[in-house]
Amino acid sequence: MLQGSVQERMQISPYMAAYVIVAMQTGMGVLGFQQIIVKDAGYDAWISVVGAGLTVHILVWIMYKICEAVDGDVLYANVYLFGKVIGNSVNTLFIFYYILACLGSLGGLIEIIRTWMFIDLNPFVFAAIYLLAGIYIVYGGFRTVAGISFLGLIIPSYLLLSFLIPLKYGDFSNLLPVLDHTPMELLKSGYNMTFTFLGYGILLFFYPFIKNPKQSKKWVHLGLLGNTCIYTALAIISFAYFPIGLLEKSIWPTLEMWKIVRLPFIERFEYLGIANWALIMLPNVAISLWIASRVAKRVYQFNQRKTVIIIAFVCLIFVSFLQSRDKMNLLFDFHSKVGFALAYLYTPILYVGLLIKKKVKTK
């Protein structure tokens, strides 16, 4: 599919691309990444967050180059490089990957609600309602998906102010001495940060839906930089607030910091945070459904409206089996490993392959 084949009325403004990517990047990992990264690098793990964030900018630059090389998306790039049979076989894998992404987002949200708020919540009913909302958004087209991504970031943004309260009780001497861990330990911690930063790869799929995509580069990089700064600040606040022994045992450190927030009109601020997180996770589910159904439409010429219902139904069935922390950990671990391979191995290889083929074709 070439860039020109997407009608302008279906495209989004360049700056909106940043909201779509950052919305997909802001998921369940924000609530518990501190525990994961601290295991290898201790309180030096904030350095790993910065390092991992910088590598994202490099990968996004490569993704833009891939899309510009074929004047289209990654689906067209795979067919161009590998041929129709192999290329579409690779493209099919993206359907399963984004079904996993949808399962992880929805399963994680249900687990948090059942653990912190409503232990008797029926996962099947909640997932069905949530997926219906996702289907409704996808039916509105990609502009609607981008719009819910914008709202999913802007409306709950006031939650950032809540971290000023644990900041007052933090002991920043915890972070000293700096660089007290080996480069290998910092690298391991950076690798564990991969799951939290995943999401920017969606650029490869919605690139043709951006008006003047070259103008979107600065906005996307600014959005990614802002997100990296937020993650770094959140890591530093958590390291100052929690003793390392307690932090290693905390599944959701971000939620636990909300427990000390007291307002005149609400006693349990974490309830408000979780309610807002249900809105934050909606773009994750909608974007995953949109990409999975879009790939199915492009590769197999399926009707996208019917396909998104089938994909949502598959997610609904499987999410009913994700009712334990062990199963969720397996899903998150598998998803993060596949995501790491796609970002740090597949993307550079695809770019190099396109460069070689274009040079050979020119000669």
For the chain, what are the domain ranges? 3-358
Range 5-13 contact pairs with CB under 8 angstroms and sequence separation of 24 or more: 5/208, 6/208, 6/209, 8/211, 10/141, 10/142, 10/143, 10/209, 11/143, 11/209, 11/210, 11/211, 12/142, 12/143, 12/146, 12/209, 12/210, 12/211, 13/211
Q: How far apart are CA 11 and CA 73, in angstroms?
A: 14
Token representation of residue 272:
């408000």
Q: How far apart are CA 215 and CA 14, in angstroms?
A: 6
How far out from the chain centre does Cα 23 lie? 7
User: Residue 266 phi/psi, 5° resolution?
Assistant: -150, 130
Q: How far apart are CA 226 and CA 162, in angstroms?
A: 18
Q: How far apart are CA 284 and CA 269, in angstroms?
A: 23
Does residue 24 contact residue 202 with C-beta atoms inside 8 Å? Answer: yes
Checking phi first, is residue 263 left (phi over 0); if not, alpha (psi -120 to 50) or beta? beta
Which CATH superfamily is 3-358 part of? Amino acid/polyamine transporter I (1.20.1740.10)
Burial of 233 (0-12, 13-18, 19+ CB in 10 A): middle
- Convert 309-336 to b/e letters by CB count within 10 Å (16 or more is b): bebbeebbebbeebeeeeebeebbeebb
| pLDDT for res 268 | 84
Closest by alpha carbon to 145, among 308, 300, 276? 308
- Would you give the end-to-end CA distance of the chain in angstroms? 25
Q: How far apart are CA 329 and CA 179, in angstroms?
A: 29
Closest by alpha carbon to 56, among 286, 186, 183, 227? 227
Does residue 192 contact residue 39 with C-beta atoms inside 8 Å? Answer: yes
Using DSSP, state whether 266 is helix, strand or coil: strand
Token representation of residue 94:
């993206």
Reduced to 3 DSSP states, what percent helix, strand and coil does the chain have, rounded to the nearest 5?
A: 80, 0, 15
| pLDDT for res 3 | 42
| pLDDT for res 1 | 43
| pLDDT for res 6 | 83
Distances (CA, A) of 191 to 83, 341, 353: 32, 11, 25
**Dihedral sign (CA 344, 152, 308, 130):** positive
Question: Which residue ranges of the chain lie beneath pLDDT 50?
Answer: 1-4
